[in-house]
Amino acid sequence: MNKVLLVSMPFGALERQSIGLSLLKGALMREGIACDVRYLTFAFAEFIGFEEYQWLSFEMPYTAFAGDWAFTEALYGKRPEVDQGYIQEVLVEKWQLSHESISRVLRVRSFVHHFIQYCLDAVPWDDYAIVGFTSTFEQNIASLALARQLKARYPQMTIVFGGANWEGEMGCELHRQFTFVDYVCSGEADESFPALVKQILAGEPVEDFGETIPGIIYRQRGETHYTGQAPMIADMDSLPIPDYSDYFADIGQSTVGASVMPVLLLETSRGCWWGAKSHCTFCGLNGGTMSFRSKSARRALDELEHLVDRWRVEYVEVVDNILDMHYFHDMLPALAQAQRPVQLFYEVKANLNRRHLETLRAAGVTRIQPGIESMSDHVLKLMRKGTSAMINIQLLKWCQEYGIGVDWNVLYNFPGETEDDYAQMLRLFDQVRFLKPPSGFGPIRLDRFSPYFDDPGGHGFVNIRPIPPYRYLYPFDAETLARVAYYFDYDYEQSITGDGIFDRLVAYISEWRSAPEQGAVYVLDQPDGTLMLLDTRGNQRRNLHLDGLAQAAYVFCDSYHTASAVAKHLRELYPDSDVSDEQTTRLLDDLVQGRWMISDGSYYLSLAIKTAPVYEDFKPPLAVAYLDGVPRPASSYLAPELKPA
């Protein structure tokens, strides 16, 4: 009975491993403690069907919490009036779901009792002294429902919870309300959970936890206690490589496994270097772990190589909040040099330059999420994004050129915005309609841990309250719910923006997504060294020939510049021309009028993309010779011919 079982319950994504549980297993194995991980997500997908599982996971609105609600009867028993209230207020009135969709949710719910019973019978629980549940997004009620049954059947078993749903105040309140949960690991549990496990298995008294293990929520004489925030992992290289063996064993044994295309998860950093400098006002990520820490390039590459070679999955999603910019000087060039057939996803900041995009594509990064949430400079300042509409459009243009997929969004309803912000945005959209449309859109949420949540009154928010689904998920009073919730509704002290402009914005983006522009603006190099611009937008064919000053100005504005900067550049290229700022402005404005460029009134950006897929034969410049200054020719990521920079 010295074994530990870590459990991932519905609705964890079927195609993704639990990197948190996999890291904890690796940490326990280092300590000589036997540990298994079970993905009971696959079992539930077998009960309800793969398509239903994916539909509820990805197509249903996530703040409806339909997946959580499906398990409430298993946790609390029958509550017909409460359940009818949820269906009416959340599914019908808020989300306006069809009768067919509501019936599908109810059908899923009808399998829950049998699924819980299956879990109790199919897993050899007698083998485990400690069972830990991870809970993020819609995993909480399912995990609590099974934990409650386990505690009733195995009262000596120790139940531990962790994950984003149990961080800080939320974890303390949930622990207080659900007495069958023995311990909570709040925050980064890489050190606290193994220490807790060793102390439990050694039979040491609970009174010692407050002195020895930060980050633990425990119960003493019926009272919930918190030992304080767990220390952040400072040395990311000290973490074990996540052990995904249980995931691939479970997917291999599942009847729905053939329908799942696994994605490998890789962690190369934690925290957010931008958020540490300028916390985006609406962002609730990281909680108390904003400080940015990253793995060395060598460790990141070795871990990637190990995971890909071990599991033979070549699509890798990096779970970092933001890419470490130092990787452009070591890790990414080395990965490009290795020429491994790996495709990666990374979250990045939008203000990258063309060379950054070249390096990303050469390294196998085929999809990014650059944190683009608006195309209004004013709204972006309200967000504290540290970017601009021109920067965002520039990035989208280059991504289209290099064949890099982009996930971006449009958020609205920010305190301080104006209707004109969105009127200007709609006019801008017309000019860049050939670029990739937003992946999503919607009003901002008020999320726990965000600056808006920490100081609602200072930003004009009033009447802060948990979003309605929480009332149906947890039978608690309003004050308790406020300590459990992560998502909140709000009102403004005064109306800021009329609903009409939002309706126009939503309609435009919806139409853009359903009928994207098939044409584009292209730049074609001519045999005589001049340029030909070709516009195929709107089923038209028009072109413009550029040479001399106009050609030089257009090429220079591949990245955005002011008119005075362009004029200075032209005078350096053509010292005998004596071109003035005024002449340059007229030239640029003519190109804007012809819809070959765009301008925000201060900066100018060329719209044309190159027709040649420049990334296919691209050989990136290697900014460093050896990682960390030490030659390691044995690594497949470093070619032996590398020379010192």
**pLDDT band for position 570 (50/70/90)?**
very high
- CATH code, domain with 552: 1.10.10.10
Return the SS3 of 15: coil
Please give the structure tokens belonging to residue 611.
């027709």
User: What's the pLDDT tens digit per position in 104-126?
Assistant: 999 999 999 999 999 999 999 99
216 and 270 together in one domain: no
Tell me how many domains the chain contains. 3
Return the SS3 of 394: helix
**pLDDT band for position 642 (50/70/90)?**
very low
Give the residue from 514, 547, 576 where a domain finishes.
514
458 and 526 together in one domain: no
550 and 436 together in one domain: no
> Would you call the peptide bond into 488 cis, given omega within 30 degrees of 0 as the criterion?
no
Contact yes or no for 532/524 (Cβ under 8 A): yes
Instruction: Please check whether residue 233 lies inside any domain of the structure.
Output: no
Q: What pLDDT score was predicted for residue 210?
A: 66
293 and 341 together in one domain: yes
Return the SS3 of 402: helix
Contact yes or no for 162/20 (Cβ under 8 A): yes
Give the residue from 480, 514, 548 where a domain finishes.
514
Give the residue from 514, 549, 579 where a domain finishes.
514
Domain range for 576 is 521-610
Is the pLDDT score of 637 beyond 80? no
User: What's the pLDDT tens digit per position in 306-360?
Assistant: 999 999 999 999 999 999 999 999 999 999 999 888 999 999 999 999 999 999 9
The DSSP element (H or E) to which 248 belongs, if any, is helix 245-253
CA–CA separation, 136 and 7 (whole Å)? 12
CA–CA separation, 445 and 484 (whole Å)? 16
Instruction: Please check whether residue 327 lies inside any domain of the structure.
Output: yes
CA–CA separation, 42 and 253 (whole Å)? 9
Instruction: Please check whether residue 248 lies inside any domain of the structure.
Output: no
DSSP for residue 191: T
Is the pLDDT score of 47 beyond 80? yes
Buried b (16+ CB within 10 A) or exposed e, 358-396: bbbbbbbbbbbbbbbbbbbbbbbebbbbbbbbbbbbbbb
153 and 216 together in one domain: yes
Length of the chain counted residue by residue: 645
* Residue with the two structure tokens 């220490």: 195
User: What's the pLDDT tens digit per position in 135-145?
Assistant: 999 999 999 99
Contact yes or no for 509/437 (Cβ under 8 A): yes
**pLDDT band for position 576 (50/70/90)?**
confident
Tell me the H-state helices in 244-388: 245-253, 273-277, 297-311, 331-338, 354-362, 377-383
DSSP result, 457-514: GGGTEEEEEE-THHHHH----HHHHHHH-SEEEEEESS--S-HHHHHHHHHHHHHHHH
Instruction: Please check whether residue 232 lies inside any domain of the structure.
Output: no
Q: What pLDDT score was predicted for residue 497?
A: 64
372 and 315 together in one domain: yes
Instruction: Please check whether residue 110 lies inside any domain of the structure.
Output: yes
Is the pLDDT score of 496 beyond 70? no
Q: What pLDDT score was predicted for residue 286?
A: 81
Contact yes or no for 628/300 (Cβ under 8 A): no
CA–CA separation, 510 and 438 (whole Å)? 9
Q: How many CB atoms lie within 10 A of CB 491?
A: 12
Contacting residues for 152 by C-beta, under 8 A, at least 6 apart: 180
Contact yes or no for 582/541 (Cβ under 8 A): no
DSSP for residue 238: G
Q: What pLDDT score was predicted for residue 288?
A: 76
274 and 375 together in one domain: yes
CA–CA separation, 167 and 160 (whole Å)? 13
Q: What are φ and ψ of residue 630, in 5° steps?
A: -115, 125
User: What's the pLDDT tens digit per position in 176-233?
Assistant: 999 999 999 999 999 999 999 999 999 987 777 767 899 999 999 999 999 999 999 9
430 and 506 together in one domain: yes
- CATH code, domain with 296: 3.80.30.20
* For residues 540-559, average pLDDT: 92
Is the pLDDT score of 587 beyond 90? yes
274 and 391 together in one domain: yes
Instruction: Please check whether residue 427 lies inside any domain of the structure.
Output: yes
The dihedral region occupied by 129, where left means phi > 0, alpha psi between -120 and 50, and beta the remainder, is alpha
458 and 537 together in one domain: no
Instruction: Please check whether residue 635 lies inside any domain of the structure.
Output: no
437 and 583 together in one domain: no
User: What's the pLDDT tens digit per position in 367-412?
Assistant: 999 999 999 999 999 999 999 999 999 999 999 999 999 999 999 9
Contact yes or no for 605/562 (Cβ under 8 A): no
User: What's the pLDDT tens digit per position in 264-279?
Assistant: 999 999 999 999 999 9
354 and 497 together in one domain: yes
Identify which of 17, 3, 22, 39 has the alpha carbon closest to the alpha carbon of residue 239: 22
Please give the structure tokens belonging to residue 172.
């303390």
Instruction: Please check whether residue 487 lies inside any domain of the structure.
Output: yes
CA–CA separation, 417 and 422 (whole Å)? 9
Is the pLDDT score of 39 beyond 90? yes
**pLDDT band for position 618 (50/70/90)?**
very low
Give how far Cα 447 sits from Cα of 187, 369, 452, Å.
17, 20, 8
Q: What are φ and ψ of residue 150, in 5° steps?
A: -65, -45
Q: What pLDDT score was predicted for residue 640?
A: 28
Identify which of 180, 151, 123 has the alpha carbon closest to the alpha carbon of residue 8: 123
Q: What are φ and ψ of residue 143, in 5° steps?
A: -65, -45
